[in-house]
Amino acid sequence: MRGICYRCGAEDELIDGLCQVCYAQLHPLIEIDERIDIEVCHMCGSYKRKTWQTPKSEDAYEILEEIAYYAVKDNLKKKCVNVEVEIYPKITQLPGGKRSKLIIPVHIVARGKLPGEKEERTYEKDVEVHLNMVQCPRCSRFMSNYYEATLQVRAMNRYLTEEEREELDKFVREELYHRLKKDRMAFISKFIPQKEGLDYQLGSVGAARYIAQKIKEKYGGNIKETATLVGVDSEGNDLYRVTVSIKIPECRVGDIVRYKDKYYVVTSLTEKNLYIKDLDKGEKLGLSWHIVNKDVKLERKREDLDEGIVISTKPNLMVMDEQNYEVYEFESNDEFKEGDKVKLFKKDDKIRLVDKN
C-alpha cells in the first residue's frame, strides 16, 4: 500500500508505515554486537563455543579463521530464515602467548529480504572478535597429570619383546592421536614402561577402552577391566580409577604351535581367530581364541627355529642346515628358489620346512 513515510515524508510503498529505504535502515537483516569475545586456549588452540572445540586444521591462520567464523556465527541472529550470510575474517597477526591480546576484524555480508519486502537487499557490517587467551580444562588437567584410566598392554605367559614394545607403543600413540578428534581427554598423562609390558595413564576411560579394542582387533587377545575407588566428588558420588588390561596372544606370526598332536605355523592373528597351517600337509585352520586358550600350546618361537639355505630346487627341494651343514630333502615347492633363507623345525626326529626366513 502506498502512503507517506512517517520517518522521512517520502511517498512510497509502505511497510509498517515506513518507505523501503527507512524500513531497511531500521530493520537490518541481521543483529550482532560490534564486539564479540571468545575464549581460546593458549596451549592447544581449542576454543569455547557451548563446549570446548578442537580446531579442524593445524595451520595457525586457518585456526584463527575458524575461531573468528564460529564466534560470529554463534552470536549472529538472522531476522528471517531466508537471509543468507557470508562471514569473512581478516587475519593480520598471530597471538603471542598467554597474556597476548588478539583482535580479528570480520566483515559480514547478509543478503535477503524480510517479510513484506518485494526485493532482496544486501546488508554489510564490520565487527571485531576479541580472543581471550586462557587455559582450557583439558590442558589444565593435562598439566596436573590428571588421569581417569590406566591402559596396560601385556602378552599372555611372556614378556613383550623389544620389537613388540616399539610397534605397540607407536600403534597406541597413533590411535590416540586420531581419537583426540572425538575425545579431547584422550591424552597420555604418563607413560610407564614396565618389565612385562607398557602402561599408559590416560585422561579418559573411553580412550583406554577404545585403544584396548583397537589392539585386540589387530593383534588378538583378551581384555579385562577393573575399577578402584579413589574418593568421592563434591556431590558425594564415588570416584573410581579404571584399569583396562589388554593381553595379546602368547604366540606370534611365524611361531610353531601344537594342536591335536599336530604341528602348525602361525600365519595370522585377528580379533576373533588364530590362523595356522599344518607343517606336514599344508592344511589351513582358523581357530577361535576360546579354542586356542584351551587346546593350543606354543611349541617354539620363531626366533628359536633353526635356519637353512636352499641349495637346489629340482628335482626336489634341497636345504642345507646352516648350523651343522647337513642337507635335507623336501618335496619340490615353487615358492622357493636357490639362495633363499628358510626356517626349520626339528622335533621327534623329523625335520619340517616352515617358510622363508
pLDDT digits 0-9 by tens, 134-159: 999 889 888 888 899 999 999 988 89
Q: Which of 170, 207, 168 is nearest to 187 (CA)?
A: 207
- Which range has highest mean pLDDT (43-47, 84-88, 229-233)? 84-88
Helical H segments across 14-59, by residue range: 20-26
Domain with CATH 2.40.50 in the chain: 305-357
The neighbour count for residue 93, using CB atoms within 10 Å, is 10
Query: Which residues fall within 8 angstroms of residue 71, CB to CB, at 6 or more apart?
Result: 36, 38, 47, 129
pLDDT of residue 336: 86
Whether 20 contacts 12, CB under 8 Å? yes
Return the SS3 of 250.
coil
The sign one gets for the Cα dihedral 126, 127, 131, 137 is negative
Helical H segments across the chain, by residue range: 20-26, 60-75, 137-143, 162-179, 205-219, 289-295
- Decide which of 65 and 1 is more confident: 65
Helix, strand, coil percentages for the chain (3-state, nearest 5): 20, 45, 35
**What's the count of helices (H) and strands (E) in the chain, helices before strands?**
6, 25
- Decide which of 229 and 192 is more confident: 192
The neighbour count for residue 132, using CB atoms within 10 Å, is 13
Return the SS3 of 242.
strand
Q: How far apart are CA 303 and CA 357, in angstroms?
A: 10
Q: How far apart are CA 307 and CA 328, in angstroms?
A: 12
Report long-range pairs for 10-13 (Cβ below 8 Å, ≥24 apart): 13/118
Is the confidence at residue 335, as pLDDT, over 70?
Answer: yes
Q: How far apart are CA 253 and CA 169, in angstroms?
A: 19
pLDDT of residue 100: 61
- Decide which of 80 and 276 is more confident: 276
Per-residue pLDDT reduced to its tens digit, 87-97:
999 987 666 55
* Strand-pair category, 238-248 with 149-155: parallel
CATH code for the structural domain at 250-304: 2.30.30
Is the confidence at residue 107, as pLDDT, over 60?
Answer: yes
Provide the 8-state DSSP code for 49.
S
pLDDT of residue 250: 87
CATH of the domain spanning 305-357, picked from 1.20.140, 1.25.40, 3.30.460, 2.40.50: 2.40.50
* Strand-pair category, 101-112 with 121-134: antiparallel
Per-residue pLDDT reduced to its tens digit, 234-244:
677 778 889 99
Computed over every residue of the chain, the mean pLDDT equals 89
Whether 161 contacts 75, CB under 8 Å? no
Query: Which residues fall within 8 angstroms of residue 96, CB to CB, at 6 or more apart?
Result: none
pLDDT of residue 313: 87
Return the C-alpha cell found at 202.
590416560
CA separation (Å) from 179 to 48, 50, 103, 173, 209?
20, 21, 32, 10, 11
Question: Is the pTM above the cut of 0.85?
Answer: no
Q: How far apart are CA 43 and CA 110, in angstroms?
A: 35
- Decide which of 356 and 328 is more confident: 328
pLDDT of residue 231: 78
pLDDT of residue 23: 81
The neighbouring-strand residues paired with 353 are 344
CA 115 from centroid of its chain's CA atoms: 47
pLDDT of residue 98: 54
